[in-house]
A and B are shown apart, each in its own frame.
Chain A
Amino acid sequence: MQDEIRVNEYIIPMAQNYNNNFPSTDQPTNLRGLYAQYADKLLGYLLALVDNRQVAEDCVVKIFTHISSLTKALPASSYSDTWNVLTMLANKEVESLTAAGNECKTVVNNITYIGSHKYLSQMNEAQRLVFCGVYYHRKSTAALAMELNMPEQQLRLRLKEAFTIIREVKDE
């Protein structure tokens, strides 16, 4: 089950794929470096999911505190590896907030957010559903395909299209 891999063994399988040949930016090696590179992005990410800024800030503090106590190393091979672990931890925080009765947002239903978003506003509904489901809500492609009643291959193509739009918006 992909979800199990991503939730319960999130550090291990990603770290197993550790490869320093990945062509990406240098990754930070300590907490301050990690914070400098990712804290603002993580706060922005959480604010897309949580209404309350204070709650989102508390989540960031919890995530960075949690990371420092991990016995396994974070995958540092690429930006996306580290970012995916951080967003996954963010989603776990959001899940516990929801479980505790706090109101959390489903990005794809947030018309105001989407309307003001440079990239999401350029995507069509199908592309947005797929991109938001995987990126913001960390659903596996298989689970999302089932939820949207769409073949997984088609879903992946929508995901690819979403990335093409992101790249085109940059190039404008």
Chain B
Amino acid sequence: MNNIKEYIESGVLETYVLGAASKEEERELMRLRKQYPEVNKTLATLEADMERIAGYMAVPPPPDMLTRIENNINDLVITPDTDIMRPLKKEWRDESEESKNRYIEVEAESNYMRLHKSWKWVFAAVFVLGKIFLATAIYFYLESRQATQQVQELKLENKALRHP
């Protein structure tokens, strides 16, 4: 950057503190602020300006607002985790703990039960085997009835032959 003063005067720093700068501009600014103390100083001044503008507009919230927020949060999660500001804290957090917090635990008895999907093949096999067993049972029942009838007929024939 040949002329850092020109860069500061371009309005890019104002655009940045308002969150309207492009990613390329942000990257360039991050690089330049390390290199040029005047960029850093100007950014600090703009930060103070931003605080002043926001502070000027401030309107005191009602006293119960924080309670409302906390109640809302408690309704959503059982184990509230309030480290919402520092990214570094996330790094050492246990993955299993994180996945646990993603769900809401509900203490209620359900009339339904959940099964693994593989059980559907077991149920299908039991159903098919049941049908085969039923068909076999019917077949042997009919066979047995027919055999009984034949025995009865043979007995009658035999009787007739003995006593003509």
Contact = CB atoms under 8 A, between A and B. Distances in A.
Interface of A: 2, 5-6, 13-15, 17-19, 22-25, 27-35, 38-41, 43-45, 47-48, 57, 60-61, 64-65, 67-70, 72-74, 76, 78-85, 87-88, 118-119, 134-135, 138-141, 153, 155-160, 162-163, 166-167, 170
Given A17-B26, A57-B61, A141-B21, 4 more contacts: A18-B87, A34-B84, A40-B61, A153-B10
A141 B11 CA distance: 11
Nearest to B77: A69
Interface string B9-24: 1111011011111110
Contact of B54 (A83, A118, A156): A83
Interface stretch (B42-50, B106-114, B128-136, B145-153): B42-50
Contacts of A40: 58-61
A76 B90 CA distance: 14
A74 to B, nearest CB: 5
B49 A159 contact: no
A3 to B, nearest CB: 10
19 contacts: A6-B20, A13-B26, A33-B85, A35-B66, A45-B54, A48-B57, A61-B72, A65-B73, A67-B84, A72-B87, A79-B51, A80-B19, A84-B19, A85-B19, A153-B10, A159-B11, A162-B14, A167-B45, A167-B49
B18 A159 contact: yes
B57 A45 contact: yes
Interface of B: 9-12, 14-15, 17-23, 26, 30, 40, 43-47, 49-62, 65-66, 68-70, 72-73, 76-77, 80, 82-87, 89-90
A34 B21 CA distance: 25
Given A79-B50, A80-B46, A135-B18, A15 B87 contact: yes
